[in-house]
Structure 1
């Protein structure tokens, strides 16, 4: 039994080290540690503002929970025998890779060009690490829920954010990959 506990502890340390590594890479990329406005808030709910993607949580935190749901499901399909901590470490690595890519000039410019994030300047390190923690919460929640409950909550999050801000994970991916002008106009309220 001690061997299992040792492997689990090491696994959680690996997951934590990946989060620290993400923060270090984002810092080396020149990302601001916190919102350039100088404040730290638990929640920022205005999408079209200079504090969006800068604070601990925002409307896009729901999408990161859904990332966790998706990564858990994929881990059970692709790595069915892997221990939970190993699958989580892979999920953190994938989420971290996205956070690094999302904060690269090519993706920042793409967001500005084709999505409703007109003034987007990338995430603060605080927000990127928080996004990774929201993904982790989604992953761990999915590991404890029945699949249909996970799907239902994911759909509810998508519909709620669609209603609240005219954006969600589905539209975000669509607009990055294959932008639709009618969607962009609808999101802008035109």
Structure 2
């Protein structure tokens, strides 16, 4: 994919998010920064991770909201309007255990049929790590603090609250696997 995909992803995310959703854009930039750091454990897949990290929340853009579920709306936008790489669209659709939230919203079968989860655990974990260690403002955080922040923002009984409580053990496991992979990298 190379640098061109990263530049394209950045231009696209900035165009869709920076003006209408500046806080979401700040989060996206922070997630992309984490992806650059984590890319070392992925080798040739680092560019795909960076593109997915940069575009993971594009479905929040007001003009793209169709279902109200940003992973699905974003992946459809990438597929339908941009003919994006299928793996990229699948990563965006499934980022941070989105299938669990899709189930809460009655969209689980639809998401799974259109954008099956990639059978590439390290890549999937890396995107979870990037998203779930970044605050809404783009700063660094722990996964535990991020889950608590999401619960506080949405409420424990909301769709997102129910989802994040279900997903938390999986999120924490992904974080542990990526931290272990990073620690094993030669310095």
Q: TM-score range by the shorter chain?
A: under 0.3
Greater Rg by CA: 1
TM-score (ref. length: structure 2) = 0.27
- Structure with the larger RCO, 1 or 2 (CA within 8 Å, 6+ apart): 1
The structure in which a higher percent of residues are helix is 2
